[in-house]
Amino acid sequence: MDEQTAREAVVETARMMLATGLAGAFGHVSIRLDDGFAITSTLPFSSAGPNDVVVVPDATSPPSGGGGAPLETPMHAALYLARPDIGAICRGHPPAVVAWGVGTEDLPLLHGLGALAGHHVRVSPEVDLVSTVAQGAAVAGILRDEHAVILRANGCLAVGANALEALTRLYFLEERARVAVEVPPGMEPVEWGARFRHTGVEMRRAMAWMQETYGHGGFP
């Protein structure tokens, strides 16, 4: 993806995140470029435009915050370096995930569509902001080959091959957390087994719905 298209996609995704309630005053979106990535600035999502997007030309040398870049920019860099399959990252603070994330237990899978967030959703125990590449590498180690991770007492992130996929996974991560928070105590996770074979088809349908429902225009 060229830089200008990435800038536009970052802005579009950020505004969709705002519309879904997955992020507000805090959160960020990034999209991989050839050697680096484009990431939202610290400006409010509703008013920031493509020219406000921060471009990090080299993921091995990310800024440490300041200059308009989020403090957690090094975390995005570390994830891109650890996972070549990641094309985009959505970082938010949806309420049910925040509630679950006061502890350190993995987020259980209690309903089928929760699988859109991945097989396993682990909690990173670090409560500090992930503002260094070393801290980001630790988060990548907890994410492993999954699609989402909860940052203890500090929201969550989801990854995808592109920005719309990452956003859709974040949306269903929040639904998965809401079910986990609301079910009666002691409910045991289901062994889903072959049910996962349908997740790819469901993801495509969910992404189309996300764009149709929350999109503000053409999605690059």
Q: Tens of pLDDT along 48-96?
A: 999 999 999 999 999 876 678 999 999 999 999 999 999 999 999 999 9
- Binned at pLDDT 50, 70 and 90, residue 1 comes out as confident
Residue 113 predicted with pLDDT over 50: yes
- Binned at pLDDT 50, 70 and 90, residue 219 comes out as very low
Residue 218 predicted with pLDDT over 50: no
**Domain range annotation of the chain:** 3-214
Residue 204 predicted with pLDDT over 60: yes
Report helix angle 73-82 to 133-143, nearest 10.
50
pLDDT of residue 66: 67
69-81 burial by CB neighbour count: b if 16+ within 10 A, else e?
Answer: bbbbbbbbbbbbb
- Binned at pLDDT 50, 70 and 90, residue 129 comes out as very high
pLDDT of residue 15: 96
Q: Which helix (H) or strand (E) holds 38?
A: strand 37-39
Whole-number mean pLDDT of the chain? 94
Q: Domain 3-214 adopts which CATH fold?
A: L-fuculose-1-phosphate Aldolase (3.40.225)
Q: Is residue 111 packed enough to be buried (19+ CB in 10 Å), middle (13-18) or exposed (0-12)?
A: middle
